[in-house]
Structure 1
Amino acid sequence: MREPAFWYRPSSWISLLLTPLGAVYGFAAALRLQRPGFGAGVPVLCVGNYHTGGAGKTPTVLALAKVLRDLGETPVVLSRGYGGRLQGPVKVDPARHAAGDVGDEPLMLAQTVSVVVARDRVDGVALARSQGASVILMDDGFQNPAIAKDASLIVIDGDRGLGNGRVFPAGPLRAPLPPQLARTDALIVIGDGKAADAVADAINAQDKPVLRARLKPDAASAASLSGKRVLAFAGIGDPRRFFRTLRGSGIEVVRERVFPDHHPYSASEIDALAADAARDGLTLVTTEKDLVRLRGGAGLPDRTRDIVAFAVSLAFEEDARLRKFVADRLFQARQNKFRRD
C-alpha cells in the first residue's frame, strides 16, 4: 500500500470528506482496545506505532532483542507475517522460507533472532514458548487486544510525526490518539525532527519515558558506497527516510525510485532499474528489507548480485535508560505472575 499524500497535509478536502468514516472506524478501534487479552505466561513486550506505514519498528525490535539478550533473556519475536502466505504458527527458517511465505520483516529479523509467524497470535504464543522464549517480543499488534502486554513501546518518526492526526481512512492513525496514548508505556522517537514533539510532551506529562534514537548506518555498507553515485530504490513504509539516511551518510543519491510498502518486485521492474542505473554509471542500492524480498522472488535472485543493501541499526541516546525500563518491566511482569499463581 502507498500512503495517500493528503494524510500528511494540514488540511485537505479529501480528509474532511472521509472524517465521518474515520469517526466510525475510530470508535470501533477504541472499543477494541479495551478488551482484555490472553495471558502469555511469559512477559510480553510489544513494539508498535500509532499509525499505518513505516516508523522504524524493525530496527527497534532488533535493538530490543539485543537488550534482552544482554539481560540474559531468550527473546522470541512474534509476528503476523504480513505479506506472507503461511497462516502459521511456524518458526521462520531463513534457509527454507522466502518473503512470500512468511513476510519480509519476519524473514529479515530471523537472520538475527528467533521469529514465530502466526495469524492467530495466541497460537503463536504457544509455539514461541515451545522454542524456549523467556520473553515474547511482539512486532506490531499494539492495537490488537488478543494478547495481554506487559509493556508497549511505541515508535514514531521525528520527521513525519502523525501526519494530519486523523483516524484512518481520513488520516494515518489506527485509532483515536487519546486511548492509544493511555496504553503507551514508553515512546521511542527516531530522528531529530520536531514533528513528534507534541506526542512526546503528552507522554512526558503522564510521567512515562520518551527515548530518543537515531538510525546508524552500518560502517561496511557506507564504506562499500563511498565515492559512488547511486540510484536508490525502496518499497517500505517511509522510503524518504531511507534516502535521507543515505545522504546523511555522505552518499551521493542521484536518483530515487519509490515503490509501495512490501512491494513484490517483478523481474521487469528490476531490469528497468538496472538499465536506468547502467546508463549513468550508477550503483543500485536498496534496504535490507527490500533485498530480502528480491532474493525470494521468482526469477529475481540472479538479478540481485549488483544490488547493494544499505544496512542500518538503531542507536539510543540513553542506552542505560532503555535497559532499566526493560529490566523493570520484566521484573514487574514476573512479580505480577507470582502473585496470581
Structure 2
Amino acid sequence: MSSQSPSTSSTTKTNSQDTWLDAWYGTRRWTLWLLPVMWLFVALSGLRRFLLLRYKQKRLPTPVVVVGNISVGGTGKTPLIIAMVKWLQQRGYTPGVISRGYGGKATQYPCLLDAQTTAIEAGDEPLAIFQQTGVAVVVGSDRIASGKLLEDQGCDILLSDDGLQHYRLGRDIEIAVVDGLRGLGNGWRLPVGPLREPASRLKTVDWVVVNSPAENFILPAPGGDPFFYVPMQIRPSELIQLKTGNRISRSELPDDINAVAGIGNPERFANTLRELGFVPQLHGFPDHFAFSVNDLDFKNSLPVIMTEKDAVKCRGFAQDNWFYLPVNAELPDSFWQAFEQKLERASAQQKSRFPLR
C-alpha cells in the first residue's frame, strides 16, 4: 500500500500503521519481541470476558444480532450490516443499528442519528449506514443504553456493529467477518498479531463470513480442519459525484484516477477500481481518518474516487471532480435462509424470556 498524501500527519500515521500491518499480515517477525505484553493482554482480556459474561451481561427484550470480527482493522462489516438491514426491511422488520461511533464526538450519548448529524458527531461508518438505509442508528459506548433507545424508536431487531467483544450486551446471534485477502494474519494475539481473540473464537459464532475470498482461500482452524465459512462478495455500484449526488457512468471518467481509502485495507478498494478498468494512484489513509481539503490535494488534475464512508466526511468541501463508489454485499441464498430460521427461533426465545413485553 502506498501513501501519497501531501499531508505530513497523514503520511506519518499511515506509515506507522503499515509497520504493524506488515508484521501482522506479512513476513516480518519483529513483533515476537512483544510476547510478554501479548500474554498480559491475553490474561486481562480473558478475565474481562469472564467477569462480563458471569456478572455484567444484560439481555434486552429485543433480539440482538452481533456483527464483528476477531482481528484489528476493516474486514467488511459495514457492507454486511447494510445488506442485513435492507434484507430485514424487505421482510417487514424494523431494524436498528448500535455502533460505538468510533472517531465521533457527539454532544451527548447515546446519540440517535438524524438528517443533520455529521461524521464529526457520529463517526463515518454509522453515518454511512444511516444515509444508505434510513434505519435508526444510535452511537455510544454504552450499548445497552443504545439498545434501549432503539427499542423506544420501535425497533424489533437490533444489529450491534463491531460488537463481538462487547460482552456486556447479551446477544442471540453472532456473525464474525474475516477479510478474504488477509485472513487471520500471523495468527497471534495483540500486539504480536492482529487478533483480539483467539482463532478458536470463530468456532463459537453462528456464522463466519469471509469477505471476497480467493478461489483457493482456506481459513485454518487451530489444530483441525479448516473453518466452514460463508463467502461474501462485494459488488461495486454506480459512481456518484460527491458534490451533486448525481450518478456517473464509468465511461464518463478517464482510466487514470486518484483513489482515496481511509479504511482498514485500502488495497482492497484499489483492487475493486482495477476491476472496473481504472488505473488508480492509491492514497491510503488510516481507518476513520478525519480528512481536510488539503489531504486530498494531490497536485494533479485527475479525478478523485473514494469509498462511501470517506465521502460522508468530505461532502462539506467536495470538489467537482470528486466521486465515491458505493458497494453492495452479496451472500448466498443458503445464508439468508439459515439466518431467517435462526432469527425466528431467537424471537420466540425472547418472547418466552420477556412475556410481558
Equivalent residue, structure 1, for 2:9: none
1:225 equivalent to 2:250? Answer yes
Change (3 A) 1:306 1:11: closer
Determine which of 101, 110, 115 is the counterpart of 1:81. Answer: 101
Point out where structure 1 has 5 or more consecutive residues left out of the alignment: 205-209, 296-300
What is the CA deviation profile of residues 215-256 of structure 1, one whole-angstrom value per residue up to 9, with x for unaligned ones?
A: 101045596333512111111111000001110122222x11
Counterpart Cα distance in 2 of 1:182 and 1:30: 17
TM-score, normalised with respect to structure 1? 0.88
Equivalent residue, structure 2, for 1:122: 144
Determine which of 304, 308, 323 is the counterpart of 2:323. Answer: 308
User: In structure 1, the residue corresponding to 2:318 is in which secondary structure?
Assistant: helix
Equivalent residue, structure 1, for 2:72: 52
Is the CA contact (8 Å cut-off) linking 1:121 and 1:147 kept in structure 2?
A: yes
Equivalent residue, structure 2, for 1:207: none
Structure 1 residue 26, shift from structure 2 partner: 1.9
Equivalent residue, structure 2, for 1:248: 275
Aligned CA RMSD, in angstroms, stands at 2.0
Counterpart Cα distance in 2 of 1:196 and 1:49: 17
Q: Report matched runs for 1:261-340 at 5 Å.
A: 261-270=287-296, 272-273=297-298, 275-276=299-300, 278=301, 282-295=302-315, 301-316=316-331, 318=332, 320-340=333-353
1:246 maps to amino acid:
L
Is the CA contact (8 Å cut-off) linking 1:78 and 1:136 kept in structure 2?
A: yes
Is the CA contact (8 Å cut-off) linking 2:61 and 2:351 kept in structure 1?
A: no
Q: Report matched runs for 1:201-220 at 5 Å.
A: 202-204=226-228, 210-220=229-239
Counterpart Cα distance in 2 of 1:304 and 1:97: 21
Equivalent residue, structure 1, for 2:202: 181
1:225 maps to amino acid:
R
TM-score, normalised with respect to structure 2? 0.84
Q: Report matched runs for 1:66-105 at 5 Å.
A: 66-86=86-106, 87-93=108-114, 95-105=115-125
Equivalent residue, structure 1, for 2:49: 33
Is the CA contact (8 Å cut-off) linking 1:73 and 1:134 kept in structure 2?
A: yes
Is the CA contact (8 Å cut-off) linking 1:168 and 1:174 kept in structure 2?
A: yes
What is the CA deviation profile of residues 193-213 of structure 1, one whole-angstrom value per residue up to 9, with x for unaligned ones?
A: 245522595443xxxxx2111
Counterpart Cα distance in 2 of 1:192 and 1:177: 17
Structure 1 residue 126, shift from structure 2 partner: 0.9
Equivalent residue, structure 2, for 1:198: 220
Q: Give % identity.
A: 34
Counterpart Cα distance in 1 of 2:319 and 2:98: 29
Structure 1 residue 99, shift from structure 2 partner: 0.7
Change (3 A) 1:197 1:182: closer
Change (3 A) 1:268 1:223: closer
Is the CA contact (8 Å cut-off) linking 1:160 and 1:195 kept in structure 2?
A: no
1:259 maps to amino acid:
F
Equivalent residue, structure 1, for 2:164: 142
Change (3 A) 1:339 1:232: same
2:350 maps to amino acid:
K
Determine which of 162, 167, 175 is the counterpart of 1:153. Answer: 175
User: In structure 1, the residue corresponding to 2:185 is in which secondary structure?
Assistant: coil
2:90 maps to amino acid:
D
Is the CA contact (8 Å cut-off) linking 1:104 and 1:293 kept in structure 2?
A: yes
Counterpart Cα distance in 2 of 1:57 and 1:99: 18
Is the CA contact (8 Å cut-off) linking 1:225 and 1:251 kept in structure 2?
A: no
Counterpart Cα distance in 2 of 1:304 and 1:174: 39
Is the CA contact (8 Å cut-off) linking 1:108 and 1:289 kept in structure 2?
A: yes
Counterpart Cα distance in 2 of 1:152 and 1:32: 19
Change (3 A) 1:189 1:199: farther
Is the CA contact (8 Å cut-off) linking 1:90 and 1:127 kept in structure 2?
A: no
Give the paired residue count: 319
Determine which of 14, 23, 32 is the counterpart of 1:6. Answer: 23
Is the CA contact (8 Å cut-off) linking 1:106 and 1:115 kept in structure 2?
A: yes
Change (3 A) 1:33 1:70: farther
